[in-house]
Structure 1
């Protein structure tokens, strides 16, 4: 594929690299994105007669004539070719990740693999020569880097001001310097033998006539041995400080466990590459997963309490509920215990207004956790998001203690729904500002929104099941009545013949702009538009096979018509009348709901990934960007919503409360779909659904059914 700015990151450890070929640099720091520095990183080859070619992340050396890249789930690969040298030079950056394995996933390290091969011709042109021997190297240069040779490794030290910068490529000159600094300790350590220490890096001698001298491995480790976040007033340090004593311990771990970590990373890569996903679907997952990782913070307070949260990309809010509502698919796939931790953390952010109890939009901002940082709440939406995630995690894990622990809060959140409706029709008309904060007033904060009404209905339906499981009859009945009221209004007032209205309210009178605080008046433009958000609340219930009683013929009609009415180059806008922006994550969410409901929309992943390549080439460095030109949600975690492609392809529905897993009998095409949430990661066994075409008919079988234990498999 073409070269584009590409990030690699670590789970909760912030160590990240952003490779930017257009700017001829990498962004590098042990503290991660927005606390990093443009760095000249020269990775390349030098012949015996001093001819040098390097990857396009340096301004110090000539670049290879042809360079391509390949995304992997655990990093990125580059293949460079030179006519002048007659060589192909392969470089792979590996960020090990393995579910339920904190050591592999959290350790602040990257592996670098280098390989030299002969390249005798490119296209119809023979190489000028084939260099048989020479040097491969990794070299760094930056003004504030202190590089020191130490026995068999290179020490890298530098300080980082405790000041975030908002740009994407260069630290602003007027940023200023903080009196407070972090001290970062890093090592570049060869794993392969016979390395040569340079003043600014490490080199190896290659010999194409000796197969043992064509591939070389090294590890790049980092360590910050002091608090990095403040959590409820207490200093908190990276979790890896509780796993490793210092950077040398990280390096020792990496060298001793290199083969094991590499095997785990390769297994994760193969699970995706051998799945039935299209190239653009898989690349979207690969690209966005690394952007998700670089936003994660996994820390431990001085009192020993762990804290996990995820920056909202360029906004720097910690674990915004509506963002994690989409991100949580990756927790369900790999780390459900992290979603459980997040639910416990959000419960600490219960707030009150004149309507009742609601959850804060976020847990904090920048380097401080403890209070909402966003400028206004989104009560109905965040309450519903929390309840739907709680319900799904309960059904997927069967952990009854989850709903026991949060039952009191869940009651108060559903009570907010009841009181937010002052007209008696079930549709909330108080506390209705929502996450779609670059949209028109009709979409963003109108009264009686269909999107929020359906999501509220879904949350109350989930609450009914929670209440029934806890023997809370009165609570269950209260929620059932609200579900019935919303359903009645949805059918009788919101349906416009071929789609649902954005909202029932047609006037802007009495609304207040959530951004300016100014009152609005007149007609509410776009109230009757086609919207991609109507069915947004359904997915978590579909994931467990516990969807509510709705008119699904209308829901499906609404999804299809809204798709065609709002489609643009890179996906659908919020509504047909609101052309302000495209949010890739919300398009993905809609796609997955449609797939679960049996609607075969066109594969839109090429549109979504084309936006990513556009935003990371030709002078732009945005990482995963969720939005188009009128917003800047860049280096954003929400792209990992794309992991849902693997759920939707086989229609997996897990309900361990009922002890069943439901899977589709047919797929759109012959394919293999790994069942990530049901894997036995300790033994490395991942069950899969395999769809084959046999004598013109689709046949399905389940690989490794023994991993499912006593779960009953139901085909539908």
Structure 2
């Protein structure tokens, strides 16, 4: 594929490199994106006469004639061609990752593998004097970067004292007043490699072989508090596993085969999935952007904290963002979601209506209170209950619900009290996640989007109440569901779609951002919206049919898609063309797949926007929004992992011991059932859809699923 800016990062450890070929540098920091600085990185081939041809991450060398880029789930691969020198250079950057393996996934280490081979022709042009001997070359240059050549590594050190966001200073991003020092190592893993004053090199001679390979590990370490949680300074969790950067380097050297083998296995699962290239690339690209936002830290007593920045907004584990990100926990690491469910429970807030969850946990390097300018009471309460219910069903673990039983009852109480008209639809505390949208979409009273999500959350809470033996709470939840359903059927349906909101006037409505009153007709109240069914997905994933008119929901999805579609996806509504949010398009696509609506695959539209936003001088990482917003280096793109669930209609309910799979698929394919993996044994079941006389029909590979789960086909 064409070159575009691409990130590689670690789970919870922040060590990140952003490869930016258009600015010809790499953004580099052991504290990650936004706390980074440009690094001139020469990776290429040096001739015997001293000429250097390099990948486009330096301004100090000649460029290759053509460079390809291939995204990987755990890194990126570049292949460069030079007709002048008659060589092909391949660079693969690997960020080790293996689900449920903490050391592998958090270790602050990246592997670089360079391989040079002869290539005497490019298109119809032959190389006149092909290079026979030379050196593979790695050279670094950055302001404030100090080098020390050691016997077994190149040591690097720098003070993390600058940030890449002009709105803030370094003090916003660190704990205390003293900027921390980062310690790094380039560790050669290939015999014969030289440790130079500012890099590494390896001689090659094609007369002795058809290729030469240089591999090295790039290790980082910050031995200082990096996050303050409720007033307590916390260090990266990796400091509990590794005492120093030397320990990291030793681990990278001694465990390279194991780490790379485990990572290759993880990547192979996605490679073998029968998704389209644009679907695969979207997952790969966004996974690294999710990782670069993650923080996994620990205090002196060993208490851990996990949270995820909201990209360029810096809020920690925004509930409505993690509502979408949650799919990656269901795919790879469900215990991390349990951590978040426990952590969010510490952020209960109150207003005149009742109890609600904070929008976020804090911002920058501080966790302890909501930082967002205003709450999203109904939104976040519903999101929490839906995730808690889905966790219970997928994990078969009711313990978090038991721990937070009383809190959940208070959250449901908010729903009931926020309905001041008695029709079930909330009209207090209704500012929602779509915070760049029009008034009708973002904070109107009696929104259909929030009503359906509230209905779904109360349906989920009723099942939790039953499991917890709380009949009174169950009855309350069921009453709310009934009220909303009656109003939804009687007053929200407009013939071929649902209204955005029941309110048609802005009188009495205040902008939550400014506090200013609004007047006149509420523009766009009757538009086609892509958000109506948003609250249904987690119920569908656990095999529970939401108590709504599914035929109307399917019509609403199909018609809104047609009326709101643009070059890169659907806008919020047919009337509100202010922006495109890719994560919400993805979420809608999965609901459509579970309901068998038959929408086309739009991943090529979504990936086209990502490439646009990371070429020709732009460097936005995964960006969720079009040009009128800037939700960049954003974690929400990992919503794309849901393609694997939607393809086979995966439903899991461990409380019933059942896994349900769609009997047919759109085309013959093979899908890994990641949530059913036994990662300790390295065993992952697949469902395969074959072309038969009866059409495309699914079958489970292997005789049975782990844990005694039975398969039902639908």
How would you bin the TM-score normalised by the shorter chain?
over 0.9
Task: Look up the match of 1:581.
Answer: 579
Q: Alpha-carbon deviation of 1:708?
A: 2.2
Task: Look up the match of 1:26.
Answer: 26
- Counterparts of residues 333-482 of structure 1 (less than 5 Å): 333-482=331-480
Q: Alpha-carbon deviation of 1:211?
A: 4.0
Separation in structure 1 between the aligned mates of residue 394 and residue 200 of structure 2, nearest angstrom: 48
Separation in structure 2 between the aligned mates of residue 492 and residue 433 of structure 1, nearest angstrom: 24
Instruction: Give the stretch that moved more between structures: 611-620 or 542-551.
Output: 542-551
Of 565, 568, 571, 2:566 maps to 568
Whether the aligned pair in 1 keeps the contact of 2:64 and 2:82 (CA below 8 Å) is yes
Whether the aligned pair in 2 keeps the contact of 1:40 and 1:141 (CA below 8 Å) is yes
Instruction: Give the stretch that moved more between structures: 705-714 or 184-193.
Output: 705-714
Whether the aligned pair in 2 keeps the contact of 1:357 and 1:412 (CA below 8 Å) is yes
Separation in structure 1 between the aligned mates of residue 686 and residue 119 of structure 2, nearest angstrom: 39
Q: Alpha-carbon deviation of 1:129?
A: 2.8
Task: Look up the match of 2:123.
Answer: 123
SS in 2 for 1:709: helix
Separation in structure 2 between the aligned mates of residue 173 and residue 557 of structure 1, nearest angstrom: 51
Task: Look up the match of 2:114.
Answer: 114
Cα deviation 1:573-613 (Å, max 9, x = unaligned): 00000000000000000000000001110110000000000
Separation in structure 2 between the aligned mates of residue 700 and residue 467 of structure 1, nearest angstrom: 35
Whether the aligned pair in 2 keeps the contact of 1:115 and 1:214 (CA below 8 Å) is yes
Whether the aligned pair in 1 keeps the contact of 2:704 and 2:710 (CA below 8 Å) is no
Decide whether aligned partners of structure 1 residues 172 and 405 sit closer, same or farther in structure 2, where only a CA change above 3 A counts: closer
| 1:6 corresponds to 2:6 | yes
| 1:238 corresponds to 2:226 | no
Separation in structure 2 between the aligned mates of residue 211 and residue 669 of structure 1, nearest angstrom: 44
- Counterparts of residues 73-92 of structure 1 (less than 5 Å): 73-92=73-92
Task: Look up the match of 2:541.
Answer: 543
Separation in structure 2 between the aligned mates of residue 593 and residue 44 of structure 1, nearest angstrom: 46
- Counterparts of residues 280-295 of structure 1 (less than 5 Å): 280-295=278-293
Task: Look up the match of 2:315.
Answer: 317
Whether the aligned pair in 1 keeps the contact of 2:109 and 2:217 (CA below 8 Å) is yes
Task: Look up the match of 2:554.
Answer: 556
SS in 1 for 2:180: strand
Task: Look up the match of 1:67.
Answer: 67
Whether the aligned pair in 1 keeps the contact of 2:171 and 2:177 (CA below 8 Å) is no
Whether the aligned pair in 1 keeps the contact of 2:173 and 2:365 (CA below 8 Å) is no
What TM-score does the superposition give when structure 2 sets the normalisation length?
0.98
Cα deviation 1:417-451 (Å, max 9, x = unaligned): 00000000000000000111100000000000000
Of 632, 635, 643, 1:634 maps to 632
SS in 2 for 1:351: strand
Cα deviation 1:25-59 (Å, max 9, x = unaligned): 00000000010001101100012232310000001
Separation in structure 2 between the aligned mates of residue 31 and residue 490 of structure 1, nearest angstrom: 48
Decide whether aligned partners of structure 1 residues 240 and 176 sit closer, same or farther in structure 2, where only a CA change above 3 A counts: closer
Decide whether aligned partners of structure 1 residues 617 and 167 sit closer, same or farther in structure 2, where only a CA change above 3 A counts: farther
Separation in structure 2 between the aligned mates of residue 203 and residue 631 of structure 1, nearest angstrom: 43
Task: Look up the match of 2:670.
Answer: 672
- Counterparts of residues 607-686 of structure 1 (less than 5 Å): 607-686=605-684
Q: Alpha-carbon deviation of 1:301?
A: 1.6
Alignment length (residue pairs)? 713
Whether the aligned pair in 2 keeps the contact of 1:42 and 1:58 (CA below 8 Å) is yes
SS in 1 for 2:62: coil
| 1:228 corresponds to 2:247 | no
Decide whether aligned partners of structure 1 residues 174 and 412 sit closer, same or farther in structure 2, where only a CA change above 3 A counts: closer
Separation in structure 2 between the aligned mates of residue 307 and residue 74 of structure 1, nearest angstrom: 24
Whether the aligned pair in 1 keeps the contact of 2:395 and 2:654 (CA below 8 Å) is yes
Q: Alpha-carbon deviation of 1:337?
A: 0.4
Whether the aligned pair in 2 keeps the contact of 1:234 and 1:302 (CA below 8 Å) is no
Separation in structure 2 between the aligned mates of residue 185 and residue 67 of structure 1, nearest angstrom: 31
Whether the aligned pair in 1 keeps the contact of 2:73 and 2:284 (CA below 8 Å) is yes
Separation in structure 1 between the aligned mates of residue 432 and residue 333 of structure 2, nearest angstrom: 27
Cα deviation 1:528-551 (Å, max 9, x = unaligned): 000000000000000001122211
Q: Alpha-carbon deviation of 1:132?
A: 2.1
Task: Look up the match of 2:41.
Answer: 41
Separation in structure 2 between the aligned mates of residue 244 and residue 488 of structure 1, nearest angstrom: 58
Decide whether aligned partners of structure 1 residues 539 and 176 sit closer, same or farther in structure 2, where only a CA change above 3 A counts: closer
Decide whether aligned partners of structure 1 residues 212 and 126 sit closer, same or farther in structure 2, where only a CA change above 3 A counts: closer
Cα deviation 1:464-523 (Å, max 9, x = unaligned): 100001111111011101100000000000000000000000010111111111110110
| 1:136 corresponds to 2:140 | no
Instruction: Give the stretch that moved more between structures: 510-519 or 317-326.
Output: 510-519
Q: Alpha-carbon deviation of 1:701?
A: 1.7
Task: Look up the match of 1:254.
Answer: 252
Q: Alpha-carbon deviation of 1:706?
A: 3.6
Which runs of no fewer than 5 residues in structure 2 stay unpaired? none
- Counterparts of residues 487-506 of structure 1 (less than 5 Å): 487-506=485-504
| 1:513 corresponds to 2:511 | yes
Cα deviation 1:110-168 (Å, max 9, x = unaligned): 0000101111111111122321221001111011100110112100100012x644269
Separation in structure 2 between the aligned mates of residue 547 and residue 249 of structure 1, nearest angstrom: 51
Whether the aligned pair in 2 keeps the contact of 1:663 and 1:714 (CA below 8 Å) is yes
Whether the aligned pair in 1 keeps the contact of 2:117 and 2:210 (CA below 8 Å) is no
Cα deviation 1:2-42 (Å, max 9, x = unaligned): 00000001000000000000000000000000100011011
Task: Look up the match of 2:103.
Answer: 103
Q: Alpha-carbon deviation of 1:207?
A: 2.3
Separation in structure 2 between the aligned mates of residue 260 and residue 173 of structure 1, nearest angstrom: 37
SS in 1 for 2:63: coil
Whether the aligned pair in 2 keeps the contact of 1:680 and 1:707 (CA below 8 Å) is no
Instruction: Give the stretch that moved more between structures: 401-410 or 314-323.
Output: 401-410
SS in 1 for 2:326: helix
SS in 2 for 1:348: coil
Separation in structure 1 between the aligned mates of residue 535 and residue 685 of structure 2, nearest angstrom: 29
Whether the aligned pair in 2 keeps the contact of 1:83 and 1:129 (CA below 8 Å) is no
Query: What value does the CA root-mean-square deviation take over the aligned residues?
Result: 1.7
Task: Look up the match of 2:165.
Answer: 166
Which runs of no fewer than 5 residues in structure 1 stay unpaired? none
